[in-house]
Amino acid sequence: MTLFFRPLLAVATGLMASSALAENALFGNNWYDVEMMLVAYTDLADIDNEHWDKLLAPEDLPAAAVSDPLTGKSAQPSAVQQAYRLQQWQQNWAQHLPWPVTASNGYWSPLAANSHLRMQREASRIDPQGGMRVVWHERWIEPVQAQAGQLKHPINLTLDGEPEIQISGSFSIYLSRYLHIHTDLAVQHLSANLPQEPLLMPVAETTDSLLATAIDTTAAINPVAEPVTVIEQPEPQPVMIDGLYPARAAHIVMSRRMRSGELHYLDHPMLGLVIRLTPVDIPEPAPAPTPVAAPAAATTSPAQ
């Protein structure tokens, strides 16, 4: 290696080593391996022991999620984007250097899904014949933030069947002395069968929603009278969503304090949640090989 490349290698190595520090400056040191399941309850006899609205009012719907970190289909928080781009740039750049510099294989894309699920045994214990179905099971790495900077994970799921179950909204994990999880989810059941007491569309009091029939009674009743218009109101029609009837709905807002390394359950008559968080260390870049200095050229003393 020439003397020209040695300072350049030192700069490159320093940039890669400082990236882990930059990442910690962005997110802190609270990185966790998160694995979570959502379980839909399908035993209607059990669910209907309580009274449910058939459809949530707009003001009761979950707040819109700001990002889609698990699938990347919408904008990430800027800090997560920055860390992701930094990591990808590091690895790609290091691979094309003309000298042996290696990037750690342990670099993680923040919030990228991990296909290796460790709670398969717990998932297998959930019996679909017992009125429970695992509808979502994911694992990922997340830098858990304080409550003010918590990252929202959007959920938008549909479980086909009778009834069809739609789950939407978001959840978030944050740190406030302890780890916490917070859900803001809507569960909507839609049925192909007309409920005994269906939700009816409101009948408007003006023209577009009424059947108006003009009957000219001039000759039949009173030749002098002005024509009479008789307005017939149609029968209220059941509300339908995509050809299905709303059967029951719930806005599920739950919070739970958690300890890392433990399995935690959150339960609601329509939905269950199972989660485990395990602390992880951000891997450091592999050190570059130390250049070996060339031996100094031998010198001879002048003859005395």
Q: Which residue has the higher pLDDT, 194 or 232?
A: 194
Nearest 10 degrees: CA dihedral of 31, 75, 137, 133?
140
Q: Residues 27-45: what's their mean pLDDT?
A: 89
Q: Residues 189-208: what's their mean pLDDT?
A: 79
pLDDT in tens, 77-113: 455 545 555 555 555 555 565 655 554 444 445 566 6
Residue 235: band (very low, low, confident or very high) from pLDDT cuts 50, 70, 90: confident
> What is the DSSP code (8-state) at residue 29?
S
How far apart are the C-alpha atoms of 201 and 191, rounded to whole Å? Answer: 17
Q: Which residues of 90-108 are buried (b: 16+ CB within 10 A; e: fewer)?
A: beeebeeeeeebebbeebb
Q: Which pLDDT value is given to residue 66? A: 40
How far apart are the C-alpha atoms of 137 and 63, rounded to whole Å? Answer: 22
How far apart are the C-alpha atoms of 198 and 129, rounded to whole Å? Answer: 28
Listed by start position, the domains of the chain span 20-197+209-279
Residue 146: band (very low, low, confident or very high) from pLDDT cuts 50, 70, 90: confident
* Chain mean pLDDT for the chain: 74
141 with 111: CB under 8 angstroms? yes
| pLDDT over 60 (residue 19) | no
Q: Which pLDDT value is given to residue 1? A: 46
Q: Rounded to 5 degrees, what are φ and ψ at 97?
A: -75, 150
